[in-house]
Amino acid sequence: MQSIHAQTSLKLWYNKPSGKIWENALPVGNGRLGAMVYGNVGTEIIQLNEHTLWSGSPNRNDNPQALDSLELIRKLIFEGKQKQAEQLANKVIISKQSHGQMFEPAGELHLSFPGHDTYSDYYRELDLERAVSKTTYTVGDVQYTRTVFASFPDRVIVIRLTASKPGSLSFTASYSSPQPQVDVKTHQSRQLVFNGTTIDHEGVKGLVRFKGITEFKPEGGSSSSNDSTISIKNANSATIYISIATNFNSYLDLSGDEQKRAASFLSRAVSKPYSEMLKTHISAYQKYFNRVKFTLEPTEAAKLPTDERLKNFSSVDDPQFAALYYQFGRYLLISSSQPGGQPANLQGIWNRSLRPAWDSKYTININAQMNYWPAERTNLSELHEPFLKMVRELAVAGQKTAKDMYGARGWVAHHNTDIWRATGAVDGAFWGAWAHGGGWTSQHLWEHYLYTGNKAFLQDIYPILKGAALFYVDFLVEHPKYGYLVVNPDESPENAPQAHQGSSLDAGVTMTNQIVFDVFSSTIRAAEILKKDKAFIDTLIRTRNRLAPMHIGQHGQVQEWLDDIDDPQDNHRHVSHLYGLFPSNQISAYRTPELFSAAKNTLLQRGDVSTGWSMGWKVNWWARMQDGNHAYKLIKNQLTPLGVNKGGGGTYNNLFDAHPPFQIDGNFGCTSGMTEMLVQSADGAVHVLPALPDAWSASGSIEGIRAIGGFEIVRVEWKNARLVRLDVKSTLGGNLRLRVPNPIKQSSGALKLAKGENVNPFFKITPTPKPVISAKANPQVPELKKTQEYDVATLPGRVYSFYAQ
């Protein structure tokens, strides 16, 4: 067993192999290649993925019949005939072509070690500080070590096999793949080569060609091969390099040469000494990872293997386990999302199934967005780029969808997309008639600007923001009963009130009103900053003024629909109408206390235990509610072995989030939520320790996270729930408004108490419309912890230090 000192380092570790269970294996990745390392002794399995290896080929999935039937669908919904509208929408809105293509596995490398069935001293780990997986065990008097990493600079998977005694390493390598069209052969007794083409799916021809080359470099011993295996005998050690590439150039272009690409990556890698490759890999990884340090005090519980800590977490005091899980989320984002690559999908970059759950694509009614919630907050802004690039591409593809399906300008995307940037409606109207994937994803562009202040970036992406707004200008219609401008057809993702005959379709649902409000507001702000489109700004302001405000219903809840038909017993996993609380900032403890109180009621009515990703979202909501203990309760619910939470998700032994099955969004959502517990910046100030739970209150610190306005929180340190030190770096200059739990003093100069609105333009907030409140609601004014607010004038590049008074 490892010492407590060793386990306070950031490692997932285990004292037994994965066996046949994929969710026990440990993930490595470099944004292009992903591998799952099983750590099995007799036959090791390295399961492989490549980021552009998808089924199908360039295609569109719009249904142009939608336009002719749009008015009839709207009429049926306004008349309360939602089920009839849904049945019609299934015929004319939902795609008659592809419902989305699938992220595909490349296959598995198998390494068989004769005579290794009996072993001792087994140990395996994933070192989050180095992005390296290691397995060690002893057979007889020989200790064997396997080291695996996905090199960031060299774009290959590297496996290093060593033995403590010379001439003791013997193994046979083979390759298998679930892909039906794959050819495997050997080359010169040193390379295992596979070629293939991905599968057809839903009428779309599979045209992605892929090439993999695995090269073996033994030191000592001998090599031999047959048609499909390579054997190494009596070597001192061996290094294995895996290169995989496809013909994918872009979502419209498959003219690349996968043969040359795979060979080029490999030739560059094998020419370098292993020690140099490992060093440059670690350096490239730590460029991102080392920016943030999160320290919570370890306890005796930290001595145990990771799977045992997971099993015990809900019932023991192990705060450092939460810090480990936090950094595991950052590790996963670094490993699955790199500039120039594809965005992290439903499973990041790791998938073993030819037909994975939900195609392992991009669900953009929450899940893909959740993947990128940690990007700006946890100082991984560059890794937002693959997602932001996808938004740019959807904005191009979605123009035809908007025009052909809805007769609208601008662009639209529905609730799912894939590597081919499909923007049509899929799966069925109950899920797929939701047309706000474009509106929501566009807000990530605005968020990136708020955190970085990059005006050139804003200038570049402004047409995308404008296009998202333009779609809603054309798509909104007047509600005949309420007079608001609403989206119709519409739905609150994947939920159906009993009053609608089991149909999800409706007009003007709360989440949509919130998204449209954000789209209009961010576009207005961007245009004002760029000093352009005055007439269009006026149009958006007039249109925004006619949107439906949020409603507080008879049960004291934020209404999910315009009509007061929420069921307080509804425990649905989607709580979409709290988008306005997080990730948006329309619901505020300080600016909208009645809505804030109603949001709390909604969360209590929906309950805690749910799918993994839903619990991840709830951590963020309870952090915004400034209730650290409830947020921590959700973390404990999420960090529970699958099967313990009755009717809900949890976490697998390798700390992958369980919907179930595995979805990576819950990992990212929880990391974001823990950041929000410690620092928030969406509500007019940099709020430090807004939701510190009792379990963490004794002492702790976090370093390197980011806030809106270009502020880096260099260090936050607390003791006994009091802020004792705060260092903030200003990269853009401007007013720094601090909201803190106890009085502080500045290391040099006097602190000014804050007065009025924050003059820093990055913290400018569009006022939330006054809610409509049911006579039965009786909303309460929330009781909040006392805080102190200060204003500090900052200069770019300066670090400002503060201490408890």
pLDDT mean across residues, the chain? 96
Angle (nearest 5°) at CA 669 between 712 and 449: 40
Secondary structure of residue 319 in the 3-state scheme = helix
Scanning 164-231, the segments in alpha helix (DSSP H) are: none
Residue 643: what pLDDT? 83
CA-derived radius of gyration, the chain: 27
Nearest by Cα to 290 from 656, 28, 10: 10
Peptide bond into 583 cis (omega under 30): yes
Phi, psi torsion values for 215, nearest 5 degrees: -110, 140
2 pLDDT tier (thresholds 50, 70, 90): very low
Question: Would you place residue 193 in the very low, low, confident or very high pLDDT band (cuts 50, 70, 90)?
Answer: very high
Integer Cα distance of 333 and 27 in angstroms: 12
User: In which band, very low, low, confident or very high, does the pLDDT at 5 lie, cut at 50, 70 and 90?
Assistant: very low
Residue 55 φ/ψ region, left for φ over 0, alpha for ψ in the -120 to 50 degree band, beta for the rest: beta
Phi-psi region of 771 (alpha: psi -120 to 50; beta: other; left: phi over 0): beta
Cα-Cα-Cα-Cα dihedral sign, residues 380, 381, 384, 389? negative
pLDDT band, residue 93 (cuts 50/70/90): very high
Query: Could you give the CA distance from residue 759 to residue 559 in angstroms, rounded to a whole number?
Result: 33
The answer on pLDDT for 721 being more than 80 is yes
> Of 298 and 110, which is predicted with more confidence?
110
β-sheet bridge partners, residue 225: 230
Q: What is the mean pLDDT of residues 337-347?
A: 98
At residue 302, the 3 state secondary structure works out as helix
For residues 261-277, one letter each, b for 16 or more C-beta atoms within 10 angstroms of the residue's C-beta and e for the rest, the string is bbbebbeebbebebeeb
Beta-carbon contacts of 185 under 8 Å, excluding residues fewer than 6 positions away, are 193, 194, 227, 228
Note the pLDDT of residue 645: 84
For the record, the structure tokens of 134 come out as 């290691």
CB 105 within 8 A of CB 47: yes
- Residue keyed to tokens 């907050």: 377
Q: Which amino acid is at 266?
A: L
Distance between CA atoms of residues 379 and 371, nearest Å: 14
Kind of pairing, strands 362-363 and 11-14? unpaired
pLDDT score for 609: 86
- Distances in Å between the Cα of 317 and the Cα atoms of 76, 305, 442 are 55, 15, 41
- List the beta strands (DSSP E) in 247-309: 293-296
- C-alpha distances (whole Å) from 717 to each of 211, 293, 696, 700, 801 are 50, 11, 11, 6, 12
pLDDT at 465 over 50: yes
Instruction: Quote the distance between the C-alpha of residue 487 and its chain's center.
Output: 27
Q: CA-to-CA distance for 516 and 438, rounded, in angstroms?
A: 11
- CA 570, CA 576: separation in Å to the nearest integer? 13
> Positive or negative CA dihedral for 542, 577, 585, 671?
negative
CA–CA gap between residue 542 and residue 103 (Å, rounded): 43
Q: Is the dihedral of CA 346, 347, 349, 353 positive or negative?
A: negative
pLDDT score at 524: 98
Residue whose token pair is 């800590």: 309
Packing angle, helices 612-624 and 628-638, rounded to 10: 170
List all residues 6 or more positions away from 318 whose beta carbon is below 8 Å from its beta carbon: 299, 301, 302, 309, 312
Q: Is the pLDDT of residue 798 over 90?
A: yes
Amino acid at 311: K
Q: Cα(327)–Cα(292) distance, rounded to whole angstroms?
A: 9
Contact 26, 388 (CB under 8 A): no
What residues have CB less than 8 Å from 396, skipping those under 6 apart?
411, 421
- Answer whether residue 706 shows pLDDT above 60: yes
Average pLDDT for 23-42 = 98
Cβ–Cβ < 8 Å for 230, 186: yes
- Tell me, rounded to whole angstroms, the distance of Cα 656 from its chain centroid: 12
Amino acid at the residue 642: L
Q: What is the mean pLDDT of residues 214-235?
A: 97
Taking the mean position of all CA atoms in its chain, how far away is CA 418? Answer: 15
Q: With residue 230 as reference, give the H or E element that holds it.
A: strand 230-235
Using DSSP, state whether 571 is helix, strand or coil. Answer: coil
Strand boundaries in 33-156, DSSP class E: 33-37, 43-54, 103-112, 120-127, 132-139, 142-150
| φ/ψ (deg, to 5) at 781 | -80, 125
pLDDT at 523 over 80: yes
What pLDDT was estimated at residue 3?
37
- pLDDT tens digits for range 472-484: 999 999 999 999 9
Q: Which residues pair with 576 in a beta bridge?
A: none
Is the pLDDT reported for residue 282 higher than 70? yes
Q: For the segment 557-579, what is each residue's pLDDT rounded down to a tens digit?
A: 999 999 999 999 998 999 999 99
Q: What is the DSSP string of 782-805?
A: PP----EEEEEEE-TTEEEEEEE-
Q: How large a percentage of the chain has pLDDT more than 90?
A: 95
Residue 779 confidence (pLDDT) above 90: no
- pLDDT by residue (tens digit) across 646-678? 878 999 999 999 999 999 999 999 999 999 999
Residue 389: alpha-carbon gap to chain centroid: 15
The pLDDT value given to residue 263? 98
Cβ-in-10-Å burial (0-12, 13-18, 19+) of 308 comes to middle
Side-chain-side CA neighbours of 82 within 13 Å: the count stands at: 20
Residue 518: predicted pLDDT: 98
CA distance 464 to 394: 9
Using the predicted structure, report yes or no on whether residue 527 has a pLDDT greater than 70: yes
